[in-house]
Every structure is written in structure tokens, then in C-alpha cells.
Structure 1
């Protein structure tokens, strides 16, 4: 039987682990470092840190792991795939060179412009004075993006002059020579298109929609994601095809620029009046999009990857259901002390795939919160209203002292009417 190693510790990795375990070929899924809630899903946490590449490679070799799947962006940007490939260990994820499309906003913008891909007008700046000059020239609203990895929290949308001035000052207070991408503010409907790829071949997943802001109706600071829906019903067939075309162009551009390989390509899109424009790239599965995308897939997920890596992509088989994922977060998230809170007991009759742990620790046989985003609860249904109702009914049973958004999916319902 086949053994899989997943690198990561969040809800995304919980969803991936469950999907691999559904394969008749897979009997063991290790997750490094994992979290204390994962054994409830049949996954085996391994106490190896994300940045311990040598330790991860040694573990994979010693346990005859057939494939290592890299979840989060930080080890990808640091070159974990290159290290595994150098050791001759099968690994699914982009090289360090390709991961720059996520790790550097400036690199990604240059890539988009070079390949004629539609995106927001932008300017890359390196000083406070340059930021103030752009504000004077362009006016508001503006979007400021820290150049490096920021766990989904590096984007500041400034709707007033005061907000823009404060954003520029804050970015350069941390680093006087920081690289910052300033963009025009795009108006439209956001969505995420994710695809598994290998060189020029790919398997595209349905459009998903993340909910980044901490509070209802898009208020408050950006987070790593407070919930997601998939498929997103408000987008037409023409819009989906336009998004797929951008995916094909992006993969062709990667191959042309020597960034080929394998992994997950995530395009953050804004569907404007002029068509879809690319907001950003990620080179890994999104969290919480993964939690609502993978349950739709009926294919043997391990075999799907094996076939893709052999350049014979298998058509995706979907179950036709809609999924809503609600993230339960610490009340202090994304700031504050976030001291551990006891978690509610799971109902004994719950389907295993309904609760996907992330920031979970264990003490005296009791699970506690650990960090900001604690777990995702998944609801499903024949359509979005029924999936939303299912998700919130389930969350009510396990929310306990944690915080949630009450409007995951509301915008899609309004727009799709």
C-alpha cells in the first residue's frame, strides 16, 4: 500500500489528508508537523518542523513515502521542492523559482505584464516618498501590497487619503527600503481558480470564493480566510471560460520563462466590467478554498496526481454538490494574545469530513485552540442555500467560545439571483 507525506499543519492539510485517504491505493497519510486534531481524521502527525528539509526528506526515505505534497507557501518559497528533488524523493509542488510568483508581488506583476495578462495598473515603489508621490499622482482608492509572503494579510485597501497615507507610513515604518506594489482599485466580483498542473498539462477545479475580511459584510482587517464556497454560482459559463483562458496563458508563460514543473496554480481573479483580471498568484492550495473544493472531486486523488505527473491528465469527475466552509477563529484573531480556549466536543455521529482542524493543540486529553484559525466546518447541499444552512447548523453544535462570520455565501446568493 501507498504512504503519503503532507507538509503543513492547517485546515488545508486536513482536507488534503482526508482526500488522499479516500484513495483505495493509500493506507497511511503522515502530516508534518500536523496538529492535535488530525488523529480524529485518521491522519498521523509527525513532529518535524516545516523548515527542517533534511528531517522531512529523511523521514520520507525511511518510511518509503510514495509522494510528498507541500501545503503552505513558506517552505515552497524557501526551496523545499528543490531539496526533495535533489534527494531523489517524489514531491508535488513548485520549485523555488516558480514559487516567486507568490513570494514576490513585484515578480508576479512583471510576469503578468511580460505575457500580456490582464491585471490592475501598478507601480512598484521602494520608499515612503515614492509612495506619497503615487498617492498624489493617482489619488484614491489605492491598494498596497507588501512584496513578500504575508499569510494572506499583506494587502491594504485604502479608500480615503488618510487611509492611504497611514498605509504607506506603516509599510515603511517597518522597513525604510521595502518593496511595495501599489495598484489601482478594481471593482467587480472576486473568485479563485485553482488548478493542478505539470508542465503544459493541467486539471482545473471549479471557481471558489474566499471571504478574507474578519467581520461580516467585508468589514475589518484581512485574515487568512474566514470561509469559502464552491462552486460559486454567480459566474456565467462565459466568465468561467475566460478565467480558464487566463490559466492556460499563465501556464504557457511559466513554461516559456523556465518556471515549469508541477504543483497547484491559484489565480485570484476580479471579474470586472472589462472581463477577469488577475489580482495575484499563489503556488499552492488556498485555505479555506481547499476545504470546499476537494470534497467535490470523485476521482481517486492519488491516481489523479500520478496521471498528471505522467502527462496524461484525467478528466475531473465532480459530484455536483455545493460546499460551504466556515472558519472558527479565536475571538482575538487576527491580533491580540489569542490565549488557548477549550474546544467543544464533536458530536459522535458526525461525518468525518465535516470538521477540519487547523490551530488545535491537546492537553490532558482535551483539545484547545492554538493560534488564530482553529478549524473549518463544512456544509454541503444540492445548491448554495442548502449548503449554507447545513454549514451553519453544524457550526452551531461546535462553535463554543470561538468567533465566526455569519455571512459566508451571502454575497454569492445575492449576485446569483
Structure 2
């Protein structure tokens, strides 16, 4: 069968890498792809929001399964469009992808169906937003309502910062149309974790636990990013927490979406805050996390293609996932300055040396080719991902790979996985 993966980041490189291993698959395409993806699939020069172009490609090339990586095409309705033409596609329909595309919708859904989450308010004007800030106090969390590539969340430590953030979003156009409405939440304490599950709208099959590192600097300092690294499994997700999340979060959400006339089919990602035995949802995403996808797929023993097909066809019955006992750690190597302005076009050295290391894979995220060499082309450039018998071994191996790679101004966190070590 022929598979088309939509996207060009580290998550899509991991998906292509895993899909290409399936004995069911004869050819993999990726639009637009990247140089790393181009080594194992055929890159197609189509943007993720070129829905008509992607549809035309899938039809003329007899694509048997399309897999959507990023949130943008989901929110634009690519799944609805492909299904309208009888094509098999993995991902949430537009009216279900709103669970990520609108944080206000997501919070209201959680409130209605008793999914535990932080107290919140939704605002389109500055004055009532400031009144809410004064009522709740600081620190406080301010989120752009719409899609902001994982960067539309500000944790304000002072009233002055909170008010300035609200003004920037609502009147200063800090996040464009995504910030024309804001969600303001109480600040939650605890440890974050990522909980992903496949669902066909009824059955729910959880993936292994994972933990992302959102802040740009060590010790969870600095502004939020799309993710600076991840590991799996996450010790903070105990069996008791896992069971609680399945009942109180995933089951209630999937059933709630169905009750709203928005049946959810795809992969559902819940960002959690865990404090003791208390769990609250920070956000939902309508797709695989990036970089959580990289360590999760390296740990997945099962062929992913039957799972993706079963979800796309609305029948997950009889599917079970098998996982490696090993741990996996992904360290994101970013361009200097990210998540603010960053350089592009710097030659990347050491990719072959890193690729030669055992049980390690370098997933490309923001790269391109120029004059025959791979150069930086995005904020998050590479996701160096390694397996190990223990988290410690996986961390050491991942950082060995990181140490082999270099470019001008490279930045990465040096503490990915430290929270797991503290629990071992």
C-alpha cells in the first residue's frame, strides 16, 4: 500500500520512519517533508495548508492511507475533504479538531463533562480580563485561544506582566487572530505529563506515558516553546494515575465529544498536571505531540499501520499495542534565539557521526538542503532520540549523539529526563 504523511517536522519524520518499517507499505510520500525524511520517503513539494493540492496528489497517486501530522490542516478540514472523496485518512475531522484549535471550546467542554481542569475565564476585552486577574491573583496562566504553534501560553509572575500580556494579545496582535480571544486560568502546581491515546470515537487505546519539556532553558526556565525534549515512560504516570486519566479524562472527553455531535477519531493528546494523586488537564491536542512522538514511536514494537487504518475506518476493535521495555529520550537541538528570532542557513556538522551510534536516530525538524549540505531552517532543528535499558542509559546515549552534532549558535537543554532520574 502507498501512504502519504502530511507535515515536515520531527513528528512527521518519526511517523514516516515507523510507517516505512511496515511490511504492508510499499511506498511512502511526505508533503512537504525535509532532508531527513527524504532519505526514507519521497518528499512532495506541497504545503500542509494546500488542501486541494494534497487531495489532487492523493487521488492521482492512488494513496491508500493519508496520515496528518500537524494541527493546521486538521483545523482547516482536510479530513472532511478527503473523506468526501472516499479517501482513507487518519486524523480528526474539523469539528473535532476544535478541541485544540479553540482553548475556550476545550475548557467549556471539560467543564460540561466534568473533566478535571483549572478554574478559568474567557475574554475578548481587556477590562474584564484584568478584573479576573485581580480576582485570581498571580502567578496566572494566559493563553491565546487559537493555534499558536505551542507558544501561545504565558505564565505571568506579576500583575504587571499579566496585564501587559492580555493587552498584547487582545489589542497588540501578539499572536494574530489566535490571540483575539484569551483564556485565563489559575496557576497549577505539580509535574506535567503527556497522555496520548488512539480512538475511533468509541474505543480508546492508550499509548505509553511520556513527558515533554516546554521551557527553553534548563530547570524549566524561560519562555514556552514547541517542546525542547521528551522521554518515555514517565514515572510520574503511575498505574493509579493512568487508570484515573483513562476514566476521568479520556473516556469523558471522547464520550463528551460524541454527545456534542463531534465524534473524535484520531490521536487525542492530553497535557496533564499531576500533583500527588490529583490530575488536571492543561490542554488537549488533536494530534501526536512533538517531540513526544519521537520517543514513543521508537518504543512502539507494534506495526503502526494497522492501528492508523483501524482508526481511520472507525473500528479499533481487536487492536492492541506492544511496547519495548526500554526507555527512550529525545533531546531537541534548536537554533540560537529560539523561540524568538533565530538564525537560518547554518551548516550542520556531525550528522553521519551521530547516525552511526547504536539505538539512536536523528529526526529532522527544521532542516533544508543548500548546495548539497544540510543547513538549519527552523527554530527546532533536530530531535536526537535514543533507546536505553534505563532512562539513565537512554539519556547518556542521546547526549552522546547531541555531542557529535554542531552548528553556529546551537542551543539545547542539558537536563532532559532529569525528573525521571529523580524518581528512580
**Band of TM-score, shorter chain:** over 0.9
Please report how far the alpha carbon of residue 307 of structure 1 lies from its aligned counterpart in structure 2 after TM superposition: 3.7
1:341 counterpart = 2:335: no
Unaligned runs of 5+ in 1: none
Aligned with 1:165 (options 163, 166, 189): 163
Query: Segments of 4+ in structure 1 off by > 4 A?
Result: 350-353
Match of residue 255 from structure 1: 258
Structure 2 CA distance for aligned equivalents of residues 123 and 132 of structure 1: 11
Alignment CA distance shift 1:412-1:353 (3 Å): closer
Secondary structure of the equivalent of 1:334?
coil
Other structure's SS at 2:171 match: helix
- The 3 A distance-change label for structure 1 pair 226 and 295 is same
Q: Do residues 50 (structure 1) and 78 (structure 2) align? A: no
The farther-off stretch of 148-157 and 47-56 is 47-56
Alignment of 1:329-408 (within 5 A): 329-345=334-350, 346-347=352-353, 349-350=356-357, 354-401=361-408, 402-408=410-416
What root-mean-square deviation, in Å, do the aligned CA atoms of Structure 1 and Structure 2 show? 1.6
Q: How many residues align?
A: 414
Deviations 1:311-343 (A, max 9, x none): 324111111110000011101211124231100
Structure 2: tracts of 5 or more residues without a match:
none
- Residues 328 and 399, structure 1, Cα contact 8 Å, conserved in 2: no
What does the per-residue CA deviation read over 1:42-97, in whole Å, with 9 as the maximum and x for residues that have no partner? 12110011111111111111111110000001111111111111111110101110
CA distance in 2, matches of 1:60, 1:350: 36
CA distance in 1, matches of 2:360, 2:369: 20
* Alignment partners' CA distance in 1, 2:173 and 2:37: 38
The worse-fitting range, judged by mean Cα deviation, of 42-51 and 158-167 is 158-167
Change in Cα spacing, 1:228 to 1:188, as seen in structure 2 (3 Å) is same
Q: CA 1:337 to 1:70, structure 2 compared with 1: closer, same or farther past 3 Å?
A: same
Q: 1:354 is paired with a residue of what secondary structure?
A: strand
1:315 aligns with 2:320: yes
Q: Secondary structure at the match of 2:109?
A: helix
User: Comparing 21-30 with 241-250, which one deviates more in the overlay?
Assistant: 241-250
CA distance in 2, matches of 1:247, 1:168: 31
Of 84, 95, 98, which residue of structure 1 is paired with 2:96?
A: 98
Question: Would the alpha carbon gap of residues 179 and 254 (structure 1) be closer, same or farther in structure 2, given more than 3 Å must change?
Answer: same
The two structures have a TM-score, normalised by structure 1, of 0.96
TM-score by structure 2 length? 0.94
The CA deviation at 1:234 is 3.2
